[in-house]
Amino acid sequence: MFPRAGTLLSAGCLCLLLGSCATENGRAPAGGAKAPMDFAVDTGGGRMFYRGTAFIPRGFNSSEAFDLDVQLSRWGNPPANETSRNAGSVLTGKFTGKGRYQPLGNGEGEIQLARGRFQLRGVILDDGQELDGEWFLDGRYGGGFRMTRKGHLFPSSH
């Protein structure tokens, strides 16, 4: 009876050990869930231009590239520069799509949306829970952006 109990106990410990090693910091949440992030894009004049949500599978401090989902809606402020005006033809009134996050090293990362035409390059902050920087359309500067934990930019009205 004791040898069998010892075998079961050993197998159980092995499963726990392997499970704890498989989820390093910055990896995907359990079950493949994606964490919602507030996402704001401003024009060159600093006024909010688009706002929405990004869904990321791990923190921006991850050393691995990953795919993310994005939902953006046009906000009330007009474009402040030519690049902002041209962004409307790419993002339209509402943009829903996938993007690709690429760590750049030195605490920075880049996201590409709309087949690479819309790029976001920023600094990783808040232990990988925020990306803050500038956006570009076809390589031309458009303004700033910020992506951070849900509720930090747009508190819920509940």
Exposure letters 42-78 (e unless 16+ CB within 10 A, then b): bbbeeebbbbbbbbbbbbbbbeeebebebebebeeee
pLDDT at residue 146, as a whole number? 97
Q: 3-class DSSP state for residue 114?
A: coil
Position 45 scores a pLDDT of: 74
Output the pLDDT for position 31: 54
What does the pLDDT read at residue 145?
Answer: 96
pTM for the model: 0.77
Q: Domains (ranges, CATH) in the chain?
A: 30-149 (2.40.128.120)
Given a contact cutoff of 8 angstroms between Cβ atoms, the answer to whether 102 and 120 are in contact is: no
pLDDT in 10s for each residue of the chain, 158 residues = 445 544 444 444 333 333 333 333 444 445 568 999 999 999 887 888 999 999 999 999 999 999 999 999 998 888 889 999 999 899 998 999 999 999 999 999 999 999 999 999 999 999 999 999 999 999 999 999 999 999 999 887 54
Distance CA 45, CA 81 (A): 8
